[in-house]
């Protein structure tokens, strides 16, 4: 299989909490709690390693509470190339209620010594030869500037390795300007880049195709339960996921990105890749954690995933019916 590196500058310990309806200002009893070593790049790495790829994880990791991460890397067969920084990695709380509502409480992360970022870059460049892809994902630590983030992406591209990006806000804007090979925003994140709301399927598709024209070959636009748009070099597919009972959406986007990249690295037709990735993301929301391609009904989920071609002209006709 392929060799992949995921880069996570601001990982987190994810505290997942299941409860009934949350009553603000009162004592609430939880149904379950779970603490996992997380961060978007680490989630992507879990999925890719489970699909048989040789995966290295890198980024910036707090030295004071690294135990859960080191254990996860060993359990999942991930090569650990993280740079340790002083202090603790942040903790993010995910509150999931019975009606499917999820509330995220995300910490900012530790401040990063300048020398640590320089050490990461020095460690990163020798890892790139022979890689088939790099995935750069997640938020930035408080004192890492979007311009520094974009410089990392540019440096990877200059070394002729495909880069896939998944972040938000100023980091996304700066990262897109560095022209990664692929990007996976949701509609809110893409709207922030576009400078206006993307309330209709036509607006979303136009924004994704605009990224194609600006030099980004693959745009995976996730629209929650409505599905996924994959715009590639001016053409687009739309996948509609099967209906499933939602327990937690945490990690669904990371699963989608990993599943799509798996298809690309396996040289599958784009329709097959998108069906696989969309079904795997649907599988992931049925439980806490990333998607499991070994689920007993995964083949059924793929069969229930509808993939079709999509065009602005088609959407315009449907809007005016």
Q: Same structural domain for residues 171 and 320?
A: no
Domain range for residue 156?
1-180
What pLDDT score does 162 carry? 97
Residue 319 pLDDT level (bands cut at 50, 70, 90) = low
Q: Is the pLDDT of residue 103 over 90?
A: no
Strands of the 90-97 sheet, one edge to the other: 30-38, 12-19, 90-97, 102-105
Last residue of a domain, one of 141, 165, 180: 180
215 in the same domain as 83: no
Residues 122 and 167 in one domain: yes
| Same domain? 167 vs 193 | no
- Verify that 172 and 218 share a domain, yes or no: no
Q: At 311, list the tokens.
A: 């065009």
One domain, residues 174 and 204:
no
> Given this model, what pLDDT does residue 313 score?
65
123/93 same-domain check: yes
49-78 in b/e form (b: 16+ CB < 10 A) is bbbebbbbbbbbbbeeebeebeebbeebeb
pTM over 0.75: yes
Catalytic residue among 199, 254, 292, 297: 254
- The answer to whether residues 175 and 191 belong to one domain is no
- Indicate if the pLDDT at residue 274 is higher than 60: yes
In contact, 183 and 165? CB cutoff 8 Å: yes
Say yes or no: 226 and 302 in one domain: yes
Residue 255 sits in the same domain as residue 176: no
- Domain count for the chain: 2
> Could you read off the pLDDT of 116-151 as tens digits, one per residue?
999 999 999 999 999 999 999 999 999 999 999 999
Q: Is 132 a catalytic residue?
A: no
- Whether residue 165 sits in one domain with residue 193: no
User: Is residue 151 domain-shared with residue 278, that is, in the same domain?
Assistant: no
**What are 174's two structure tokens?**
């700066």
CATH of residue 297's domain is 3.40.1190.20
């Amino acid at each position: 299989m392929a060799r992949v590196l995921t880069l996570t500058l601001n990982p987190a310990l994810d505290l997942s909490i299941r409860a009934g309806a949350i009553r603000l200002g009162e004592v609430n009893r939880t149904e379950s709690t779970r603490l996992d070593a997380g961060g978007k790049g680490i989630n992507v790495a879990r999925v890719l390693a489970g699909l048989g790829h040789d995966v290295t994880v890198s980024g910036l990791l707090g030295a004071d509470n690294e135990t859960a991460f080191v254990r996860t890397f060993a359990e999942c067969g991930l090569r650990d190339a993280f740079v340790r920084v002083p202090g603790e990695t942040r903790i993010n709380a995910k509150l999931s209620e019975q009606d499917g509502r999820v509330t995220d409480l995300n910490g900012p992360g530790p401040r990063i010594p300048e020398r640590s970022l320089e050490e990461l870059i020095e460690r990163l460049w020798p890892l790139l030869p022979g890689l088939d892809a790099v995935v750069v994902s997640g938020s930035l630590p408080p004192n890492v500037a979007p311009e520094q983030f974009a410089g990392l992406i540019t440096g990877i591209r200059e070394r002729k390795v495909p880069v896939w990006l998944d972040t938000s806000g100023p980091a996304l804007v700066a990262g897109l300007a560095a022209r990664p090979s692929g990007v996976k925003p949701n509609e809110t994140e893409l709207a922030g880049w576009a400078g206006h709301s993307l309330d209709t399927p036509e607006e979303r598709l136009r924004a994704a195709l605009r990224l194609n024209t600006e030099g980004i070959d693959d745009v995976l636009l996730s629209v929650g339960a409505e599905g996924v748009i994959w715009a590639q070099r001016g053409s687009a597919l739309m996948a509609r996921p099967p209906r499933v009972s939602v327990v937690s959406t945490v990690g669904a986007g990371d699963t989608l990105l990993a599943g799509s990249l798996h298809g690309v690295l396996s040289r599958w037709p784009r329709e097959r890749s998108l069906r696989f990735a969309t079904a795997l993301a649907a599988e992931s929301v049925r439980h806490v954690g990333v998607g499991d391609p070994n689920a007993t009904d995964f083949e059924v989920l793929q069969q229930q995933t509808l993939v079709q071609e999509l065009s602005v002209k088609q959407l315009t006709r449907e809007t005016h019916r």
